Amino acid sequence: MSPSLYTLIEASFPDDRSRIALEAPDRVHGTAEWSYARLGNAAARYAALFSGLGLAVGDRVALKVEKSPEALAIYLACLRGGFVFLPMNTAYRPDEVDYLVGNAEPGLVICDPSAEESTREIAARHGVRHVLTLDADARGSFIDAAAKVTDALPPAACGANDLAAILYTSGTTGKPKGAMLSHGNLASNGIALRDAWRFTEDDLLLHALPIFHAHGLFVACHCALLSGARMIWLGKFDRDAVLRELPRATAFMGVPTFYTRLLSGDDFNRNLVGHMRLFTSGSAPLLTETFEEFRARTGHAILERYGMTETGMNTSNPYDGERRAGTVGFPLPGTDVRVVSDEGELLGSGEVGGLQVRGSNVFRGYWRMPEKSAEEFTEDGWFRTGDVAMIDADGYVHLVGRAKDLIISGGFNVYPKEIEELVDDMPEVLESAIVGVAHADFGEAGVAVVVLRPNRELDEAALLARLKQKLANYKVPKRAFFVESLPRNTMGKVQKNLLRDTYCDACRS
Ligand code: AMP
């Protein structure tokens, strides 16, 4: 049996375990430096705590907390004990948490102390046995409970196919789907990235991404942990903090918005990046102009890569060799990609079609949705990404669009259907369409186009305010427009491309 991801990570710890795994310079109360010894010990004790609460291998541990070293140790505890880690976006509102908890049925939910009351109500409704709290500064009932545990849970004997994590991604059906990721998926992708991007013990990764998403949790943390490197752990992307820490770092990973924000002031310049060897970008398209401006300002070519929750990383621009703006590079070792027509025929270089992937990185399907999972795979076992792509004559993959109509706002996915359902439920509304348009800061943002029922009134501010009650802020459209009717094609489908054209300038300034 291949080793669990935990065993692999632990085997990658530096021989000298007093070396620092992560430091959290923004931390106000909890200790700011975590050695590898401390991280490993915390994972072993936290795993014993979960086991003591009655959790068994395969049980889910849901987490909706601010980023902290303890949160990372909880992830490692799950990997060690064979519990399935289920991180939730910190911006989720109670309705969204309710759906996820009801669907995943975790044995334990860990939440911020400020959300304890609503989380307890949700947990009680779904028969969840345990709720604990944890804040960004290591306070809460989780910390109190963990302090009483002195024993270590031995690592569970997890194989490559056993579940390590479930990450929810919103779906075109409107309801989020739980992507099931195995120890083998995460381990193979982590090793591929560590090696492709040349991570070693000498690296210092400046980590400013959230850890409820595959980018910050898997891509960034696995590169660091599987090489015994050190991380500077920022609670969030804060431009000043990044500028302050950058001169010490060797690597930085970001969504395109991070790079446009860094470039927004002259104080980001060559002097800050003398120590750096790698900047990577992903989760949304990096504009060629950002790539070029960054290179002119710093001398560094941002390495753009492409992946998704369901697959981890699929392609990457080369570490050595030409990083081409506007492309996402070549398939990573262990991953195959192909472009096919709507009829399923294999397309040649330069031809545009649906991008499909296959490999040890591809997930095990959606949690409790066997039919939906089966639909996403071809008969010969390739996963349909929903991205539209072209592979050029040199083998570089170009993403040219998204078949699934997804909006990516500030690096986060927003699925129009989920918002349309909420708007359509409003008594004044007949129907609606949500489309993505260019946004100066977020890259893309949602715009709501709404048809009201006869003789009913609703204004933009009221509509957006109602959505804010129900949805994480990044999902709330930035503007709403009222129209007589939505444009439709002969098949009755709303022509979102026309709406995108009409409202293309709505969020530019
Ligand atoms: P997520 O599951 O949140 O990681 O989102 C996955 C989606 O993000 C992919 O299916 C792509 O549409 C998009 N994406 C990821 N990386 C890139 C990239 N480098 N350029 C363009 N789109 C990207």
313-344 pLDDT, tens digit each: 999 999 999 999 999 999 999 999 999 998 89
Global model pTM greater than 0.85: yes
d(CA 296, CA 19): 36
Nearest CA to ligand 1 atom 1: 308
User: Sign of torsion, CA 226 232 237 243?
Assistant: negative
Is residue 357 in contact with ligand 1, taking CB distance under 6 Å? Answer: no
Of the listed ranges 110-114, 170-174, 327-331, the least confidently predicted one is: 170-174
**CA 167 to mean position of chain CA atoms:** 8
Cα first-last separation, the chain: 56
Identify the structural domains of the chain with CATH numbers, from first to last: 5-15+32-195+209-220 (3.40.50.12780), 279-402 (2.30.38.10), 407-502 (3.30.300.30)
Predicted confidence (pLDDT) at residue 278 exceeds the cutoff of 80: yes
Is residue 283 in contact with ligand 1, taking CB distance under 6 Å? Answer: yes
Is residue 87 in contact with ligand 1, taking CB distance under 6 Å? Answer: no
Q: Which of 397, 399, 402, 475 to mutate to test the pocket of ligand 1 (most atoms within 8 A of CB)?
A: 399
pLDDT band at residue 495, thresholds of 50, 70 and 90?
confident
State the pLDDT at residue 166: 98
**More confident call, 467 vs 431:** 467
Nearest CA to ligand 1 atom 20: 285
What percent of the chain shows pLDDT beyond 70? 97
pLDDT band at residue 172, thresholds of 50, 70 and 90?
very low
State the pLDDT at residue 415: 81
Closest atom, ligand 1, to C-alpha of 306: 16
**More confident call, 90 vs 400:** 90
State the pLDDT at residue 287: 83
Is residue 327 in contact with ligand 1, taking CB distance under 6 Å? Answer: no
Q: How far is the CA of 309 from the centre of ligand 1 (A)?
A: 9
DSSP 340-356: E-TT-PBP-TT--EEEE
Count Cβ atoms within 10 A of the Cβ of residue 440 and give its class: 0-12 exposed, 13-18 middle, 19 or more buried: exposed
Tens of pLDDT along 189-220?
A: 999 999 999 999 999 999 999 999 999 999 99
pLDDT band at residue 493, thresholds of 50, 70 and 90?
low
d(CA 285, CA 442): 11
**∠ CA(102), CA(108), CA(114), 5° rounding?**
90
Is residue 414 in contact with ligand 1, taking CB distance under 6 Å? Answer: no
Q: How far is the CA of 174 from the centre of ligand 1 (A)?
A: 18
Is residue 399 in contact with ligand 1, taking CB distance under 6 Å? Answer: yes
Tens of pLDDT along 37-58?
A: 999 999 999 999 999 999 999 9
Q: Determine the average pLDDT of the residues in 53-64.
A: 98
Neighbouring CB atoms inside 10 A of 330's CB total: 20
Q: What is the DSSP letter of 376?
A: T
231 backbone dihedrals φ, ψ, rounded to 5°? -120, 140
pLDDT band at residue 490, thresholds of 50, 70 and 90?
low
Q: Determine the average pLDDT of the residues in 105-124.
A: 98
Predicted confidence (pLDDT) at residue 277 exceeds the cutoff of 60: yes
Q: How far is the CA of 392 from the centre of ligand 1 (A)?
A: 19
State the pLDDT at residue 241: 96
Closest atom, ligand 1, to C-alpha of 402: 12
